[in-house]
Amino acid sequence: MTDPKAASATTTAAHGAAVSLLNFDDAADFERANRGLVAQHPTGSIELEGGGVVWDTARHDFVRETDTAPETVHPGLWRQSRLNMLHGLFQVSDTVWQARGYDISNITFIAGEVGWVIIDPLTTAATAKACLDLANETLGERPVTAVIYTHSHVDHYGGVLGVTSRQAVANGDCRVIAPEGFLSEVVKENVIAGVPMARRATYQFGILLPPGPRQQVNVGLGTAIPFGASELIAPTEEIAETGEEHLIDGVRVIFQSTPDTEAPAEMNFFFPDLGLLCMAENCTHTLHNLYPIRGAQVRDSLAWSKYINEALNLFGPYTDTMFASHHWPRFGREDVEGFLIVQRDVYRWLHDQTIRLASEGYVATEIAETLSLPNCFANHSHVQGYYGTVSHNAKSIYQRYLGWYDANPANLNPHPPEPAGQRYVEFMGGADEVLSKARRSFDEGDYRWVAQVVNHVVFADPTNVAARELQADALEQLGYQAESGTWRNAYLTGAHELRNGSPKLPASMGRQVPQVMTAEQIFDLIGVRFDPDEFEASTTGFTMNWHFDDLEEDHVLGVLHETIHHHPLRVADNADVVVSLSRETLGAILGGQLSVADARANESLLLDGDADGFAAFMTAAAGPEDMFAIIEP
């Protein structure tokens, strides 16, 4: 394992320049983040029942040691990291508490007439349960009567089994409330695109990097991602319209639907009897992503700004306290309104100025290089680029309206990275010549160019150790300079994999989700995993009647023209095989936890007809076994 290197003189100078630009109200943010602390987890270490640490606040103790950023961390990101390290159970208002610092996201507890109304049960059951235990031990034990998912990202629902059970929900003892379209968006992001998104997330969140001042420091939105599986209980109720008012365990809640903002399915809500506003993840203490670099649908910055403005108009005059799904609350009507106004304006500014420049003929990369936050935002820490950045947000807006193509025909059908790399290296006089010139650029501090040009050498010849080392050195300095936690993690993960090789880890197959998916969604997942070259009947045709025991539904799934087709709620005459199973069994087979043969042996899978053909089909739909490489071919 090769250790990271020190910050260069160029990086140190860049940090000095950044310090001169920082002019934030530090004391106010730290006061807000500490306000209302009533208890902390006794050890800060959260473990699975069978062993294994899911979260440990001590892993990032180095962040607590000094106010001054080390030379290998951007000073703004260091400040944000120190704020995110504050952990405990905090009182937000008379009957509302938040646990922060035990996951990347917050979990909120509202005391209803009977029990807890919980908002966003974190990423894993272990972290959610630890926070619920902390609340019960500190405030008095209560049953969980409702869970609200603010939006469709895994760190806001994945720990639900730590606070309630499927049986409690099925019995009607616990309501599960989410925005309209929630389940569909969860499936698209975490199942349909789950494999590439999970691999790319290792770069965004620095999941495989050890904590340390030269490695993973923070994500910007929170400290890190917990090490544990995520689960899902499907919503029992969905919110479709702004203005819907619901009584949840005696607590009045007015909802605001905000689709296509920070998530495709998201909502804010207001507690009129408490003067309390929840802004979900639409407003946090950082400039957010219009496109997360792990990959996702590009978000609508114009709609985002308008929804914040709508919340300001609907609820601002009546709000005493505002909280969100990440970071710390804002207290007092004036503070809340000032915060919302700046958040509203930064997303509108990004949108309007990007399209203005696009209308003048600038392409996405040129716009990203041209735009920088104007001085009117400079003193507001909550719109700085600790998570999202002006650069990749501007590119995202361009993509949303105009797509990946910049209209230059030279870029319409370029060579992919590997053959392009070979041609670039040949044109530039060979690998030795490229590396010689790149080393001069490195000495001049032009790390962006070094990373870009040497990448061609790596893709032309991934065994070239000198190229891998030089590109890693450049990425490392770019990581040290990055204000954004996600950019830092991406750069440093790339450097780590260049030096130590791409990891051999199993691909994530979304195995926890199929048991709550519809049959159509499950077949959509099978479709994107199906390799027709691995199935002999993919051209001649193969028809399957599927019966889902738990749904009491029949479906036809066919294969023809090297693709699948699906007919819901039907039975085909003369099907090649009849398949009977539950969604849970199918999820275990798709997740690699159960083979077709073993499922037949324990009779959780029943087949009538061409069993060998069905087994061959499922083998062809197995999907990739390992994570793919990113920084090399």
What distances in angstroms separate CA 392 from CA 259, 350, 581, one per listed residue? 21, 11, 45
Distance CA 132, CA 39 (A): 12
Judged against a pLDDT cut of 90, whether residue 215 lies above it is answered with yes
pLDDT at site 299: 97
Dump pLDDT digits (tens) for 74-106: 999 999 999 999 999 999 999 999 999 999 999
Q: How far is CA 121 from CA 196, 254, 359, 511, 558, in A?
A: 25, 20, 43, 19, 39
pLDDT of residue 509: 58
Mean pLDDT in residue range 496-505: 93
Residue 587: left if φ>0, alpha if ψ -120 to 50, beta else—which one?
alpha
Would you state the pLDDT for residue 605?
A: 98
Give the model confidence (pLDDT) of 552-585 as tens digits: 999 999 999 999 999 999 999 999 999 999 999 9
The pairing of strands 144-148 and 175-179 is parallel
Give the bridge partners for 56, in sequence order: 45
Q: What is the tens place of the pLDDT at every residue in 126-139?
A: 999 999 999 999 99
Q: How many CB atoms lie within 10 A of CB 461?
A: 17
The sheet carrying 563-568 orders its strands as: 563-568, 553-560, 542-548, 577-581, 606-609
**What are residue 107's phi and psi, to 5 degrees?**
-120, 135
DSSP 166-203: HHHHHTTSSEEEEETTHHHHHHIIIIITHHHHHHHHHH
Residue scoring higher pLDDT (592 or 6): 6
pLDDT in tens, 401-453: 999 999 999 999 999 999 999 999 999 999 999 999 999 999 999 999 999 99
Tell me, what's the pLDDT at 625? Answer: 84
pLDDT of residue 592: 87
- List all residues 6 or more positions away from 286 whose beta carbon is below 8 Å from its beta carbon: 80, 220, 221, 327, 382, 383, 384, 385, 386, 387, 388
Mean pLDDT to the nearest integer, 621-630: 91
What is the predicted pLDDT for the residue at 437? 97
Q: What is the mean pLDDT of the chain?
A: 96
Average pLDDT over residues 469-477: 98
Percent of the chain scored above 70 by pLDDT? 99
The larger pLDDT score, comparing residue 626 to residue 181, is at 181
The C-alpha atoms of residue 117 and residue 150 are separated, in whole angstroms, by 13
Residue 512's pLDDT is 66
Look-up: residue for tokens 């309501």?
A: 175
pLDDT, one tens digit per residue, over 446-458 is 999 999 999 999 9
All domains in the chain, ordered by first residue: 21-238+251-331 (3.60.15.30), 414-500 (1.25.40.880), 514-620 (3.30.1050.10)
Judge if pTM exceeds 0.85. yes
Min mean pLDDT across 2-16, 35-49, 157-171, 510-524 is at 510-524
Between residues 247 and 18, which one has the greater pLDDT? 247
Secondary element (H or E) of residue 452: helix 447-460
Residue 402 has a pLDDT of 97
Q: What is the pLDDT of residue 580?
A: 98
pLDDT, one tens digit per residue, over 347-394 is 999 999 999 999 999 999 999 999 999 999 988 999 999 999 999 999
